Amino acid sequence: MIVIEYTEPAKVAVRVADYLKLGLVAAIPTDTSYGLAADATSPDAVRKVFEIKRRPLEKVLSVFVASKDDIRRLCILDELAERALALLPGRVTLILRAKDPSYFAPGVVTIDGNVGIRLSPHPLPTLIAEILGRPITATSANISGRPPLYSAQEVAEQLPGLDVLVDAGELERTPVSTVIDLTTSPPRILREGPVTREHVERVLGTRVL
């Protein structure tokens, strides 16, 4: 396992992006817990994420993107989804319809063609996706079904199949993201998280289930 000390975000992001170009999987600090980053368009890299997490293949992975323009390029946005972009960057995952589901690796898009999109307030995932030029996976660095990990030492101990670890020490224990499905009417919160239902409804201007 290659260990990179988390220092200057831009320099670390360049190194991680270089490893991701090789199909490797990296554990990185995010705005919530440590996450597993891989090229979300690479079938082999995404498959390795599932293997490291021991996650069932039918439980698709969300992705980090570099900008709102990336979201507009990759997803079909109606007026409500466009309003939802005001929640970003933020601790939310937006479920949207992919314009071209085949762009993503298997395990990222649902059978209905939906994809979970994150634009992180943490600089590292955003910079990595920008430098790589492609979305990266945005799933917690943990064994599937177990709690998220906030310590680099725990990540190293519990995920021995990992290729790269960006060591930022102990992270603040923030709940994982609020998940909002914008493919249904009205929108639906699939997972409660740090962004409240009241705030989501205020931004969207509509009731949320």
Stretch 133-160: mean pLDDT, rounded? 95
**Residue 96 banded pLDDT, cuts 50, 70, 90:** very high
**Residue 122 banded pLDDT, cuts 50, 70, 90:** very high
Work out the angle at residue 105's Cα, subtended by the Cα atoms of residues 99 and 107, and round it to the nearest 5 degrees: 100
Q: Which of 32, 29, 16 is nearest to 152 (CA)?
A: 29
Q: What is the pLDDT of residue 123?
A: 97
> In this structure, what token pair is assigned to residue 171?
């992270």
Q: List all residues 6 or more positions away from 58 whose beta carbon is below 8 Å from its beta carbon.
A: none
Distance CA 134, CA 101 (A): 14
Question: Quick one: fold of 2-204?
Answer: DHBP synthase (3.90.870)
CB 51 within 8 Å of CB 163: no
**pLDDT, mean over the chain:** 96
Q: What is the pLDDT of residue 127?
A: 98
Give the count of beta carbons closer than 10 Å to the beta carbon of residue 10.
12
Mind listing the pLDDT tens digit for each residue in 3-61?
999 999 999 999 999 999 999 999 999 999 999 999 999 999 999 999 999 999 889 99
Q: What is the largest CA-CA distance in the chain?
A: 47
Stretch 179-184: mean pLDDT, rounded? 96
Stretch 180-189: mean pLDDT, rounded? 95
Q: Among the listed ranges 65-69, 116-120, 171-175, which one has the minimum average pLDDT value?
A: 171-175
Q: Distances in Å between the alpha carbon of 81 and those of 22, 52, 119, 203?
A: 34, 33, 14, 11
CB 28 within 8 Å of CB 127: no
Burial of 7 (0-12, 13-18, 19+ CB in 10 A): exposed
Helices (H), 22-66: 43-53
Q: Greater confidence, 175 or 115?
A: 115
Q: Which of 123, 28, 120, 12 is nearest to 65 (CA)?
A: 120
Q: Among the listed ranges 35-44, 123-132, 171-180, which one has the minimum average pLDDT value?
A: 171-180
Helix pair 123-132, 9-21: axis angle to 10 deg: 50
Q: What is the pTM (predicted TM-score) of this model?
A: 0.94
Pairing of strands 178-181, 92-98: parallel
**Residue 188 banded pLDDT, cuts 50, 70, 90:** very high
H-helix or E-strand spanning residue 98? strand 92-98
Length of the chain: 209
Q: What is the pLDDT of residue 29?
A: 97
> In this structure, what token pair is assigned to residue 30?
């995010």
Distance CA 172, CA 164 (A): 21
